[in-house]
Structure 1
Amino acid sequence: MSRDLSWAKHMTLDEYYLRLEAYALQQEDKRRAIHEQAWANQVVKNTKGEGDNVKPLFQTFDQFYDSEKARNEIRSTFEQNYKPVENKPAVRKKTAGELRIARMIKYEEMMKNKKG
């Protein structure tokens, strides 16, 4: 790679910021890759529970590292009218009653399948 930076003299300010944003997003991609490796290591090592009830501390990668949030922060830094994009659907946790009903329905289906 040439060390000649004469091309930078002819760059507009908009082009400079676009390149700066692209570089920041490339760095975020590298951080995500590092976090993916750390998450894979964590799945193997960090657990909660004991005996037969051992589970990973984080069930999904998104619980471990929010790459979307980091990308939104970078883009909002460089783009004035940037609106963060939420690709994740809002997840509502089921109440204890809803969980019991769902289990009962599943149990009844299992019993029907066993008999018939």
Structure 2
Amino acid sequence: MMIDALRYFGFVDLLEFERMTVHEYSIRMIAVALRQLDQKELIHQQAWANWQIQATETRGKKEVPKYRTFESFFDKEKLENKILGIDTSKFKSESDKKLMQLMKNANK
């Protein structure tokens, strides 16, 4: 138990461990397990992305990359706008895009 606390919780002082209740220890161990699960998910997402980025399409007799640019593979701006609740379909002209960017910057 004490070694787990030093290993997983980042404790450097044994007094921290001694002050911890059994209930707190259990909660922290669950948190460690969930953090490890999150890391495994990230590893699997990276493997999936590596596989996806190598995808090709057949055009005529040629195999061409499915994603020609990074942005076509991962559109961060589109995802950011979705999180911020900005509907980009309303912004057609350059002045509208500039206005959208000003609104984003004002909200930071």
TM-score clears 0.5:
no
Give the TM-score band, short-chain normalised. 0.3 to 0.5
Normalising to structure 2: TM-score of the pair?
0.38
Normalising to structure 1: TM-score of the pair?
0.36
Question: Larger relative contact order (C-alpha < 8 A, sep ≥ 6)?
Answer: 1
